[in-house]
């Protein structure tokens, strides 16, 4: 039976309060990590890895600095700045007044209560963070769980379902082994080790619903996986008691093929009627009651089946479909497909268990990861996905050359050469779980499926694989890539709707002990100045200048948030401290002061995938993870201020900042094709994006808010802003310093008089046709850009500026005339 994470948290906090605990600082954490050898810190850099001493994974945990509680005045100032571009003058004045009152009255008292509460705890926000997730009652699918879509295996022959799945499973198990043996090198940022606590919560973990909220359970000794095929459940052991692999990739593939062959024996229409995994998509209270039904009958298999699923290392989902488009693949990884045939759901949405991490593999080998988000953030699962993808490639390389490097400091003994008796008490033969489908469960399953199908059909997904440029080009122009892309989202939205809305982006705070994320509020006065100027008849130089200022501001805010100096988490913790004092005094005392439910809950329908503070728990509700200790009750002199909602939270600005319209997250690397999540509000977009060296991948979701049109607008912005950058640059300047060094060297080389002897120069020079020079390639690309997308970004003023530029530019007369004619035609067409 999975054990509650509550005990682990309590023991961690007990350790923190130890008087003999070593001093925490980033320097101390870095120092202890440096004590390990280079081979232990970067196993891949060494072809023959030395024997590793265990412990490097969590070596710095006791030295990492505590997550700091920001100064109250600083937090309020930043909060006010974040709201300014989103409010009218009168609204902003009201918020200023509310903040001044808060700083004068309740604020200092709540700050002191928070500091007292945080004493001896891993993090001042951690418990509130867990509660915000675990008290969430709506289905986790499309509301909480994000997904990663992996790139295809680079060896085409391995891109079939069973081969790809077996390869991913073996690599995932190697990662599990490295974590358990504490040989996984810690994440670092510029040499500084990051908190690795989340990796201990990645495997053998399950979200378990109860009547009073969910709890996180974990079996730290789990050694089996559960496989889902056509909605049917199978399991087999994959590790021994030492966390060594007991099956080769060939053995795993054989088991998976046996499972696929067995699952197909049950007609899909029949299998759908017993697809118990659909129940994990229900409302959490409903799902809690159904779990009681599953396990209440004595002699039933269901209780054992639940334990096997809950305690598995992870779930492997083998889908029988082959999605081809990017949007369909993303939908399949996030929520599965919905397809009703003869009144029965046969889509892949029935082949899931959303309370655990799932590795999903389609029939054609396309693979992804869907994960339960309570205990782990995207950065942690990204490391897992990246290492798994890398290991599949390196293992294939070692099958060609045994001297190829390994990602791991040490490896399991070859299972094929071990004595079977050394495996211990294991079962490597697949077992099928047989659920006892009593009538009450069958009825509940049918209703759960129809509600899930509704939920899926209420959402839509679109992807953009922008291949024209990426990080290299953005940095060559002097921009932070993340800030550059964030401005694209705001500009595209403003171009469609003529207004700015609240934008959310997470910044990682894992530099600190048990750090998670801080909220970056991307809309600033500078970004609004830019988007309004961009859409007006203004000179290109002015637009680019304002873009630079907006990006610089965004970068500065992001750096502040990475240092845990943002305002969101701090204010949310203060809100929770106040709410706890209300809960302790009783809901009756609160209601007597005229409070309603709006005082406790966010206006959002859903909870942001990266922002748990956007949903506020209900009064009187504590999760299964709530600590026994509590905030001190208010003194009599503060009784009235404790029960009346603090002015900062009663102000309309609090609702506005927590109603995220563009929920965005930058998470990925070349191992991923896409990353995404559902929208966090009924009228918003969920935007996951990956910035690669030469491209940008975006997955956008919404509840049918013209998602395709929005994605097209982002693409058009990318193309238009590149044109503006070129218009403001000196002709002939390289646009990509990483891609044209060889061409620049060619241009600088002294011209030889013996050109004929060396062959004719192939290029469009001297009026001769041929291969385009770099400058001409850029001009041609800019010309091609004009014909892309559903609508143009040009107005008459911009075209006149382009015409003037073509007349004053350094082109030869023949080229100038051509450019003038082309721009003139566009100008006449636009004015017409």
Residues designated as active site: 373
Nearest-angstrom CA–CA distance, 346 and 458: 18
Phi, psi of 67 (to 5 degrees): -65, 120
DSSP secondary structure, 144-182, as one string? T--EEEEPPPSSGGG-SHHHHHHHHHHHHHHHHHHHHTT
What radius of gyration do the chain's Cα atoms show?
29
Q: How many residues does the chain have?
A: 832
Beta-ladder partners of 697:
465, 690
Burial class (CB in 10 A: 0-12, 13-18, 19+), 743: middle
Secondary structure (H, E, C), 668-688: CCCCEEEEECCCCCCCCEEEE
Nearest-angstrom CA–CA distance, 177 and 241: 11
Q: Which residues contact 221 (CB under 8 A, 6 or more apart)?
A: 204, 241
Q: How many CB atoms lie within 10 A of CB 831?
A: 10
Helix crossing, 378-400 with 161-180: angle to 10°? 110
Nearest-angstrom CA–CA distance, 771 and 645: 70
Structure tokens at 324: 């081809």
Measure CA 641 to chain center. Answer: 39
Nearest-angstrom CA–CA distance, 67 and 23: 14
User: Which uninterrupted H or E stretch holds 487?
Assistant: helix 481-497
Contact in structure between 243 and 204 (CB atoms under 8 Å): no
Nearest-angstrom CA–CA distance, 567 and 564: 9
Measure CA 565 to chain center. Answer: 21
Contact in structure between 54 and 96 (CB atoms under 8 Å): no
Contact in structure between 353 and 145 (CB atoms under 8 Å): no
Q: Residue 634's closest CA among 580, 573, 570, 569?
A: 580
Measure CA 351 to chain center. Answer: 23
The one-character DSSP state at 209 is E
H helix intervals, 240-300 = 249-263, 268-272, 284-296
Q: Residue 726's closest CA among 736, 739, 716?
A: 736
Phi, psi of 147 (to 5 degrees): -140, 155
Q: How many CB atoms lie within 10 A of CB 153?
A: 21
Nearest-angstrom CA–CA distance, 586 and 159: 59
Q: How many CB atoms lie within 10 A of CB 242?
A: 15
Nearest-angstrom CA–CA distance, 668 and 146: 13
Nearest-angstrom CA–CA distance, 392 and 403: 16
Beta-ladder partners of 19:
none
Nearest-angstrom CA–CA distance, 681 and 614: 10
Contact in structure between 543 and 525 (CB atoms under 8 Å): no
The one-character DSSP state at 506 is E
* Buried b / exposed e along 100-132 (16+ C-beta atoms within 10 A): ebbbebbbebbbebbeebbeebbbbbbbbbbbb
């Amino acid at each position: 039976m999975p054990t509650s994470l509550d005990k682990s948290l309590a023991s961690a906090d007990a350790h923190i309060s130890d008087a003999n605990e070593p001093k925490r600082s980033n320097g101390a954490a870095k120092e202890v990590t440096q004590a390990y050898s280079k081979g232990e810190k970067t196993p891949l850099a060494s072809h023959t890895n030395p024997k590793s001493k265990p412990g490097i994974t969590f070596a710095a945990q006791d030295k990492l600095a505590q997550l700091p509680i920001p100064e109250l005045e600083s937090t309020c100032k930043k909060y006010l700045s974040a709201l300014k571009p989103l409010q009218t003058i009168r609204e902003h004045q009201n918020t200023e007044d509310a903040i001044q009152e808060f700083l004068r009255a309740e604020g200092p008292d709540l700050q002191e209560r928070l500091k007292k509460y945080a004493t001896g705890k891993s993090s001042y926000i951690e418990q509130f963070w867990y509660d915000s997730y675990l008290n969430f009652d709506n289905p986790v699918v499309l509301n909480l769980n994000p997904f990663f879509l992996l790139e295809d295996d680079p060896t085409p022959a391995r891109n079939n379902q069973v081969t790809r799945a077996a390869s991913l499973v073996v690599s995932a198990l190697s990662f599990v082994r490295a974590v358990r043996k504490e040989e996984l090198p810690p994440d670092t940022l510029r040499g500084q080790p990051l908190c690795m606590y989340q990796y201990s919560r990645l495997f053998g973990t399950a979200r378990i619903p109860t009547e009073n909220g969910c709890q996180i359970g974990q079996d730290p000794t789990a050694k089996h996986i559960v496989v889902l095929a056509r909605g049917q459940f199978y399991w087999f052991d994959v590790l021994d008691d030492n966390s060594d692999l007991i099956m080769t990739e060939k053995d795993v593939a054989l088991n998976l093929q046996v499972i696929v062959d067995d699952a197909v024996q049950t007609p899909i229409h029949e299998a759908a009627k017993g697809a118990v995994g659909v129940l994990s998509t229900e409302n959490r209270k409903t799902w809690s009651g159904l779990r009681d039904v599953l396990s209440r009958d004595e002699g039933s298999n269901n209780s054992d089946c639940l334990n096997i699923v809950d305690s598995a290392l992870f779930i492997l989902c083998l889908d029988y479909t082959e999605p081809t488009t990017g949007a369909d693949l993303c939908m399949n990884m996030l929520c599965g497909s919905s397809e009703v045939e003869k009144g029965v759901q046969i889509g892949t949405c029935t082949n899931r268990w959303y309370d655990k991490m799932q590795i999903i593999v389609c029939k054609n080998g396309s693979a992804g990861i869907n994960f339960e988000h309570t205990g782990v953030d995207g950065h942690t699962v990204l490391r897992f996905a990246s290492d798994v993808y890398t290991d599949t490639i390196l293992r294939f390389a070692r099958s060609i050359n045994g001297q190829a490097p390994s990602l791991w400091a040490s490896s399991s003994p070859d299972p094929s050469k071990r004595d079977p008796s050394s495996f211990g008490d294991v079962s490597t033969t697949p077992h099928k779980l047989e659920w006892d489908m009593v009538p009450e469960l069958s009825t509940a399953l049918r209703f759960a499926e129809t509600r899930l199908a509704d939920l899926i059909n209420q959402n839509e997904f679109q992807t953009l694989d922008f291949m024209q440029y990426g990080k290299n080009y953005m940095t060559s122009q002097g921009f932070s890539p993340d800030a550059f892309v964030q401005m694209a989202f705001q500009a595209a939205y403003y171009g469609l709707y003529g207004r700015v809305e609240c934008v959310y982006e997470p910044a990682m705070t894992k530099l600190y002990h048990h750090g998670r994320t801080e909220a970056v509020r991307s809309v600033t006065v500078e970004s609004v100045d830019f988007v309004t100027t961009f859409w007006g008849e203004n000179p290109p130089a002015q637009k680019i200048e304002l873009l630079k200022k907006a990006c610089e501001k965004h970068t500065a805010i992001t750096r502040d948030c990475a240092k845990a100096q943002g305002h969101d988490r701090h204010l949310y913790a203060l809100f929770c401290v106040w709410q706890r004092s209300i809960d302790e005094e009783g809901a009756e005392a609160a209601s007597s002061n005229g409070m309603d439910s709006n005082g406790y809950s966010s206006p959002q329908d859903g909870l942001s995938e990266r922002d748990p503070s956007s949903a506020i728990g209900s009064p009187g509700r504590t999760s299964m993870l709530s600590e026994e200790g509590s905030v001190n009750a208010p003194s009599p002199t503060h009784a009235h201020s404790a029960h009346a909602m603090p002015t900062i939270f009663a102000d309309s600005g609090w609702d506005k900042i927590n109603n995220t319209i563009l929920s965005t997250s930058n998470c990925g690397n070349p191992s991923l094709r896409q990353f995404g999540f559902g929208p966090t509000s009924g009228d918003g977009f969920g935007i996951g994006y990956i910035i690669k060296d030469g491209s940008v991948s975006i997955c956008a979701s919404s509840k049918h808010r013209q998602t395709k049109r929005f994605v097209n607008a982002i693409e058009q912005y990318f193309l238009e802003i590149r044109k503006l950058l070129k218009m403001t640059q000196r002709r002939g300047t390289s646009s990509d310093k990483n891609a044209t060094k060889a061409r620049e060297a060619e241009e600088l080389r002294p011209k030889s008089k013996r050109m004929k002897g060396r062959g004719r120069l192939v290029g469009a020079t001297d009026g001769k046709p041929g291969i385009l020079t770099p400058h001409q390639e850029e001009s041609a690309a800019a010309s091609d850009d004009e014909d892309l997308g559903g609508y143009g970004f040009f107005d008459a003023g911009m075209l006149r500026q382009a015409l003037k530029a073509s007349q004053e530019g350094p082109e030869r007369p023949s080229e100038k005339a051509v450019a003038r004619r082309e721009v003139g035609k566009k100008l006449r067409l636009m004015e017409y």
